[in-house]
A and B are shown apart, each in its own frame.
Chain A
Amino acid sequence: MTHGEPRRRASWVDRAEWLGPLMIGPAVLYIVLVLGVPFLLALYYSVSDISMGSRTLGFVGLKNFVSVVQTIKFQTSLKNTFVFAVVAQVLVMALGTVLALALARDFRGKWIVRLLILLPWVAPISLGTIGWLWILDSTYSVINWTLEAVGLIGPDGWYMWLGVPWLAMGSVIAIHVWRILPLATVILLAGLTSIPHDIHDAAQMDGAGFSRHLFQITLPLIRPIALVAGLFGLTLAFTDMIVIFVLTRGGPYDTTQVLASLAFFTGIQGGDLAEGAAIAVFLFPLLVAVAIGFLRVARRAEVQ
């Protein structure tokens, strides 16, 4: 009977139906409170007449959506969002694949290259972007200085990196790519290292040259994981505004304004919470569709 006691104490911890919910509980609570509630609130705000400083909260249906969609500002932002997200993500995937392929090989000083590539991901985003703000500054730009020093531009030819529409869009895309690239590279690298080495040896024995090996063996085999990386990056690019907020605040003349930043400026800084919410949730159905589509394709590729 002496060993009956410890057994009784262990019993409820041993039971998966208690322990499981107990362990997962905090995570569920966290997600519900920090993501779920604000999201539902945003959905409700988008169909209400809420504004900062008013105490009423009435249901107005789709009025906010109708009015916001008609503004030129919104239409420009919608177009910019697509340009920004798609161009940035295509660049990220292409460059990430090249980088991952390079890092999958052995060479001297590989660790330092890995570290440098991972650095943008480790550094706080806003801090890194502020660095870029200085690099792209109209008066002090290091890039312009360098270009002049090597004789590519004259003293009058300095670029206004963030002041000319197409240069500004190019700049925010470039900085966003710089920021997302590490994540994509690491994911793709994980995909590459999961390919058994024998497969590469077999391809070599079978006489595949570089491009046949790359396009018919390596890339198809990392396709499922590349889709996951693509999905993450694309949704992030569609919803993120940090780079744009720090670098251009949507300017010049809204040419780099995207829906996320427009929602912020309208809802938080402009005080029109209802319209801000409408802008913010506008892309939600599209993003859900993108996510489902991607996961479907990834699953099919996995099953094959």
Chain B
Amino acid sequence: MATVEARRVSKQFGDVRAVDGVDLSTREGEFLVLLGPSGCGKTTLLRMIAGLERPTGGEILIGGQVVNDLPPRARRIAMVFQSYALYPHMSVFRNIAFPLKAAGMPRAEIPQKVEWAAALFGIERLLERKPRQLSGGERQRVALARAVVREPAVFLLDEPLSNLDAKLRASARDELQQFQRRIGTTTIYVTHDQVEAMGLGDRIAVMEGGRVRQIGTPAEVYDEPADTFVAGFLGSPPTNLVEAADVLVGFRPEHFLPREAHTDGGNLTTLPFHITRVEYLGADRILYGALEGRFEGARVVARLATTVEAKVQAGRTQDFAVRARELKFFDKVTGLRTTARVP
């Protein structure tokens, strides 16, 4: 068991600064998700932790020890790749046994260990097959078993679910989390999928432009975004941002409801909303349109759960409202969170 720490880690590729002074540290046994759009540096950061890429600045520590100069095999980490990277010419058994052989484990002990890892993921009956004879889900389990078999101190996962179809992804997510809880190994997981990040992570580090924009529990990054990027990246549809004097006001589409739907009263900010289009998505209705009155023309989106029975109609202007405490304020220039100012 070990923690991973990055201290002012940078990576320069030619003129491009892929990772720009990242500070990050995991807790013992934590499931940390690196979340961000493609090109934000999350995979590069993971590869530097793995030792596949050398930082151009800063230090990486695993278990309190600086590992910048250590090759991957000396770092006691295992990695699962997006493509799974199974060795196509080896059987599942030999794939899983490969790290053990490389670590110099006595021949006689290998089969027992391989079977233990295979049993963890329920793939004992696949041991004689070649990777190309497996389904996507089975390949993913083999990749996980190969990673686990050495009992590494840290797990690195690079979008391991993105090659699975949507249905399988949900169940694989569930299995992955249960498995991580059971073995309790510190895990760093890279994804661009916010649903995966929210569902899996103990904490989420939201990255953009080579920097960590915010790190916190799923609830923290969703409810209290540190800047406009985080507010806009998380949530679907993203947070509405409306310009008001010298600040940007943000509110989530699901908090922007017809006035009459706010039954519990409280301090409401009312905004007239001209609806131009209604999308019916089964569980939700998504309303597109623009504000009127004080914020004339600002385009916003509202998301109504179908259980909200208010009547809405495209082409009409209706009074919508947000609870005052759901309004978040951001600096117009820096995009950072500022204190509440009544607009």
Contacts and interface: CB of A to CB of B under 8 A. Distances in A.
Contacts of A207: 72-73, 99, 102-103, 150
B259 interface: no
Nearest to B50: A205
A223 B89 CA distance: 10
Contact of A199 (B79, B87, B146): B87
Interface string A209-225: 10010001100110100
A216 B86 CA distance: 13
Interface of A is mostly: helix
Contacts of A91: none
A220 B89 CA distance: 7
A180 to B, nearest CB: 27
Contact of B146 (A206, A212, A216): A206
A216 B97 CA distance: 12
B52 interface: yes
Contact of A206 (B89, B99, B130): B99
Interface in A192-209: 196, 198-199, 201-209
B102 A208 contact: yes
A84 B101 CA distance: 40
B62 interface: no
Contacts of A223: 89
A11 interface: no
B89 A221 contact: yes
A203 B85 CA distance: 9
Interface centre among B82, B98, B103 (most CB of A within 10 A): B98
B89 A205 contact: no
A207 B79 CA distance: 11
Contact of A201 (B81, B98, B101, B150): B81
A304 interface: yes
Contacts of B77: 205
B25 interface: no
Contact of B79 (A202, A220, A221): A202
B83 interface: yes
Interface in B24-57: 47, 50-52
A102 B306 CA distance: 63
A156 B187 CA distance: 73
Contacts of B47: 201
B78 interface: yes
Interface centre among B51, B77, B79, B86 (most CB of A within 10 A): B79
A304 B89 contact: yes
Interface in B118-150: 130, 146, 150
Contacts of A212: 101-102
A204 B101 CA distance: 13
A205 B78 contact: yes
Contact of B52 (A204, A206, A209, A217): A204
Given A204-B52, A206-B99, A221 B72 contact: no
Contacts of B72: 204-205, 207
Interface in A217-244: 217, 220-221, 223
A14 to B, nearest CB: 37
A221 B88 contact: yes
B87 A205 contact: no
A304 B79 CA distance: 25
A271 to B, nearest CB: 54
A198 B81 contact: yes
A219 B101 CA distance: 18
A194 to B, nearest CB: 11
Given A212-B102, A304-B130, A205 B88 contact: no
Contact of B98 (A198, A206, A209, A220): A206
Interface centre among B50, B73, B82 (most CB of A within 10 A): B73
Contacts of A221: 88-89
A198 B143 CA distance: 12
A300 to B, nearest CB: 12
A196 B83 contact: yes
Contacts of B87: 199, 202-203, 217
Nearest to A202: B85
Contact of B85 (A198, A208, A209, A304): A198
Interface centre among A204, A206, A220 (most CB of B within 10 A): A206
Contacts of B150: 206-207
Given A205-B77, A208-B102, A196 B89 contact: no
Contacts of A203: 87, 98
Nearest to B71: A204
A199 B83 CA distance: 9
A224 to B, nearest CB: 10
Contacts of B102: 206-209, 212
B152 to A, nearest CB: 9
A205 B79 contact: yes
A301 to B, nearest CB: 8
Contacts of A205: 50, 52, 72-73, 77-79
A81 B83 CA distance: 47
A204 B103 CA distance: 12
Given A205-B50, A205-B73, A217-B87, 18 more contacts: A198-B83, A198-B85, A201-B47, A201-B50, A201-B52, A204-B73, A205-B52, A205-B78, A206-B73, A206-B78, A206-B102, A206-B146, A207-B103, A207-B150, A208-B73, A208-B102, A220-B89, A304-B130
7 contacts: A201-B85, A202-B85, A203-B87, A204-B72, A205-B52, A220-B89, A223-B89
What are the nearest 8 A-B pairs in CB distance? A207-B73, A198-B85, A202-B85, A207-B102, A206-B99, A205-B79, A198-B81, A220-B89
